[in-house]
Copies of this chain bind each other. A is one copy, B any other.
Amino acid sequence: MLVVGELINTSRKNIKEAVEAKNAEYIQQIAKDQVEAGADYLDINCGTRVYDEEEIMAWLVDTVREVVQVPLCIDSPNPKALAVGLERAGDSTLMVNSISAEKERFEQVLPLVKKYNTKVVALCMDDAGIPETAEDRLRVSDQLIVDLLAADISQDQIYLDPLIKPLGVNNQFGVEVLDCVRTLSLRYPEIHFICGLSNISFGLPERKLLNRVFMVMNITAGMDGFILDPLDQSIMSMLGAAWTLIGKDDYCMNYLKGVRAGRIKA
């Protein structure tokens, strides 16, 4: 299981303000809190800074690196910002967020994945956009995996993101994601799956409940990575419980450790 802490993102008001004020201490506290809460990776996203994204990416990575040594997930649709972040993030196994089946993006991001030998989030979308049907989702995902493998990226480096769409728009959108994950995890037993959860509940009430429950359903289907807020103890507790229930936690040791440390609670 891989937890990517999502909080360092300039689309969040408090991070936006901290970046504007160059408040390194605040950013560093959020970084430390996420690691303390169990994040394996920290996402670094400043995609809202259209005019100085590269400069802010450099500052964020340097700032975070002063206080935590967990690997970083460098998050941008902009290959130049990815390159800056990867270059400064050090020699742990980094993660690139993200590549996709869009032709130009694939060609520009692939060399970075190879140069830094990173894990890579592979978004299920191509130049036609996000697939409309379940069949198209599977076709686009499969082709993207085939193309990455052909480029000598290993299955174990790939974190396929099926791109979740809102349940409120179509009540089959949840099931379609689960089916996609189940099918591809049987077809490619060594690849990983990852997603952000909040899209599923867009437009519906009690969103956190839907997000958490959908996370458990995805773990059941074979997903093993999530980009989430690790400071949400409820979602982290459910994640710990699901991981032990799915049989991946020898002697339930991680579960028991989490309970003893107070991180996992009913």
**Which of A's residues lie within 8 Å of B, judged by CB?**
167-168, 171-172, 174-175, 178, 200, 204-210, 212-214, 216-217, 219-221, 237-238, 241-242, 244-247, 249-252, 255-256, 259, 264-266
Query: Are A206 and B175 neighbours in the complex by a CB distance under 8 Å?
Result: no
Task: Contacts A245-B214, A259-B205 given; indicate if A252 touches B168 (C-beta within 8 A).
Answer: yes
Query: Are B213 and A174 neighbours in the complex by a CB distance under 8 Å?
Result: no
Query: Are A174 and B246 neighbours in the complex by a CB distance under 8 Å?
Result: yes
| Sample (15) of A-B pairs whose CB atoms are under 8 Å apart | A171-B252, A174-B246, A178-B220, A204-B256, A205-B256, A206-B241, A206-B259, A208-B266, A209-B241, A213-B238, A213-B245, A214-B245, A216-B242, A220-B220, A220-B221
**Overall SS of chain A's interface:** helix
What residues of chain B lie closer than 8 Å to A171, measured between beta carbons?
244, 247, 249-252
Task: Contacts A209-B237, A238-B209 given; indicate if A245 touches B264 (C-beta within 8 A).
Answer: no
Query: Are B174 and A210 neighbours in the complex by a CB distance under 8 Å?
Result: no
CB distance from A120 to the nearest CB of B (A): 27
- Report the separation of the CA atoms of residues A65 and B242 in the bound assembly, to the nearest whole angstrom: 39
CB distance from A164 to the nearest CB of B (A): 11
- By beta carbon, the residue of chain B nearest A207 is B266
What residues of chain B lie closer than 8 Å to A252, measured between beta carbons?
167-168, 171, 204
- Report the separation of the CA atoms of residues A168 and B241 in the bound assembly, to the nearest whole angstrom: 12
What residues of chain B lie closer than 8 Å to A255, measured between beta carbons?
204
Task: Contacts A175-B247, A221-B220, A259-B206 given; indicate if A213 touches B200 (C-beta within 8 A).
Answer: no
Checking B172, B208, B216, B266 against A216 with a beta-carbon cut-off of 8 angstroms, the contacting residue is B216
What residues of chain B lie closer than 8 Å to A246, measured between beta carbons?
174-175, 217
